[in-house]
Structure 1
Amino acid sequence: MIIRPKHLNKGDTVGVIALSNPMDVESLQNPLSIFSEMGLQYKLGQTIGLSGKYLAGTDEERVQDLHQMIIDPEVKAIFCVTDGYGAARIADQIDYPLLAEHPKIFWGCSDITFLHIAFHQFSNVATFHGPALSKIVDEQSKKMLYQLFAPYEIFYDESLSPLVSIIPGAVRGEIIGGNLRRIVDTLGTKFEINTLGKILLLEEADLQIEEIDRLLNQLRLAGKLKEASGFAIGSVGKEDILALFKEYLSPYKKPAVAGFNIGHSKPNIGIPLGVEVILDADEKLLRLLPGVE
């Protein structure tokens, strides 16, 4: 059974860290006000304000910051403020049993996908695929933060965004995945994504069709598309990209729906990963169990 972290209460303290690209304190002033609006306190990690050429401090500093937030009894949730590049560099230095011993909310997306996959496989803790704190700029994205205060189901249908049924059918299973590039980055490592019987979330930013093709082909050759039981796909935008996903996924005859505002989109709907979901391509909906208890 997946471990669900405890839900937040007003007055709780959350931790703010940078595990990818750097973030200066001045640029965080507006994003941090979100916590005040929600009745939360916050604690800045040592990585906030640190900067290398393109990373928020050294690998050692970022690992130490993550570990400190996990063991800090005051911190009830950990939010990643950036999501560009660098998280995979620390994956093999993380103490995974530490999160299992102190399960708490972990929130981030894009580059953080690599760590979501690692935490699911080695800590068995539900995590949250949601926008970096610095990119929560619209009301719908902010609203999704309130799922952290109570265990309630998320019901994603066309009232949130237009959806396209690529392959019909319905399936129930655990949802995993995230950013397509970072999923492919796990292949051939000890953190290689396990898609067997899982519903695979795939989202990506504005890449050329050739690059999307290369990434999907890598997943195909690795057997990850064949092993999955269904596919939830973010907003892919152009018709030719949508057609490419259909070309790759149709041979497996597994339910697939595209158009979810999950990932590099506005709004960016935060959802729990590692939980049981129902994906219904006929009704065009995704129903997710809570990510907190």
Structure 2
Amino acid sequence: MIKIPPYLKKGDTIGITCPAGYMAKEKAQTCIDTLQSWGYQVMVGKTLGSQSKNYFSGDDEQRRNELQAMLDDDSINAILCGRGGYGVSRIIDQIDLTKFKKKPKWIIGYSDITVLHCHLNQKLKIASMHAPMAAAFNDGPNEFIQSLQKAITGKKGNYKCAAHELNRKGKVSGELVGGNLALLVNIIGTASDINTKNKILFIEDIGEYIYSVDRMMYQLKRSGKLDDLAGLIIGGFTDIKDTERPFGKTVYEAINDIVKKYNYPICFGFPVGHSKENYALKVGVDYELTISNKQVRLSEI
């Protein structure tokens, strides 16, 4: 049974931390202002706009300690990760989740934060939120930022998108798991590795070569992650590159060649991923996926 953290109410505090890549504080200012306009207090960690001179928002110890402090701080009601990038895998095994398990709170983010979502799902059976991070607020008010605003207050997500020619029709329900494809592959065989049996899996990615996506999908297949799904959601695959000698297929065609043998419903092009079109999804929560000739609907149960 998945445990659902308490939803937020006006006056609650949202902590912002960067457990992975560096983010300049000014790029998060609109996010901070918006969260405050929604009625929340905001506690900004030192990793946001840190003095780090390399890729990360501080060394491993600094990032780990700040995340740990926010997980343990009873005055913080939710944690919004400033950005993803890379870095959570380096610190996840040193995080003490003893107190968090007793008093969970919503962890919000995507991309590299997929590692944290999967870890909480597999180790603690606690729900978390795959959703826009700080920079997304710079796009101005839109339905995707609004989906986060609604989700953190407990409103059930009910999303739809246009049908895709590669979709496989059907209607299923199940626990929603997933995130960034590269990270889902990266955690196979680790303590964060997730069980996908009878679940709705969603995947997305950015900046990969088509052959690399093909290779990662084969790793999911060979490790059994695709065998017994309730359904599969293919999200955005943005800034995808091809080799000088072309792979010969689009990224969606490459994915479809691998998954078309399965009998469960599959949709392509769902609005989740590294773009403005990124709905807030509650990882570990039950959803109903309906794929018809005209549209796709994903509804929280």
State the TM-score, normalizing by the size of structure 2: 0.89
Question: Kindly, what percent of the aligned residue pairs are identical?
Answer: 33
Aligned length in residues: 287
**Where do 1:100-179 residues align within 5 Å?**
100-136=101-137, 137-138=139-140, 139-158=142-161, 163=164, 166-179=167-180
Report the equivalent of 2:196.
195
Give the C-alpha shift of residue 286 in structure 1.
1.0
**In structure 2, what residue type is equivalent to 1:172?**
S
3-state SS in 2 of match to 1:14: strand
Q: Residue in 2 aligned with 1:279?
A: 289
- Aligned pairs for 1:222-261 (under 5 A) are 222-236=223-237, 240-261=250-271
Structure 1 residues 123 and 164: alpha-carbon distance in aligned structure 2, compared to 1, 3 A threshold: farther
Q: Cα distance, 1:162 vs. partner?
A: 5.4
1:53 is aligned to 54
Show CA shifts across 1:78-98 (max 9, x none).
000011111111111112333
User: Does 2:31 match 1:21?
Assistant: no
Runs of 4+ aligned structure 1 residues displaced above 6 Å come to none
For residue 33 of structure 2, what is the aligned residue in structure 1? 33
The answer to which of 119-128 and 49-58 deviates more is 49-58
C-alpha distance 143-164 of structure 1, shift in aligned 2 (>3 A): farther
Aligned partners of 1:8 and 1:70: how far apart in 2? 16
2:182 maps to 1:209: no
The answer to which of 33-42 and 47-56 deviates more is 47-56
For residues 76 and 226 of structure 1, the distance between their equivalents in structure 2, rounded to whole angstroms, comes to 37
Separation in structure 1 between the aligned mates of residue 261 and residue 163 of structure 2, nearest angstrom: 24
Report the Cα distance in structure 1 between the residues aligned to 2:167 and 2:98, rounded to whole angstroms. 39
**Per-residue deviation, 1:165:** 5.6
Q: CA deviation at 1:42?
A: 0.4
CA deviation after TM superposition for structure 1 residue 52, in Å: 4.6
Distance across 1 between alignment mates of 2:164 and 2:155: 23
Tell me the secondary structure at the aligned position of residue 260 of structure 2.
helix
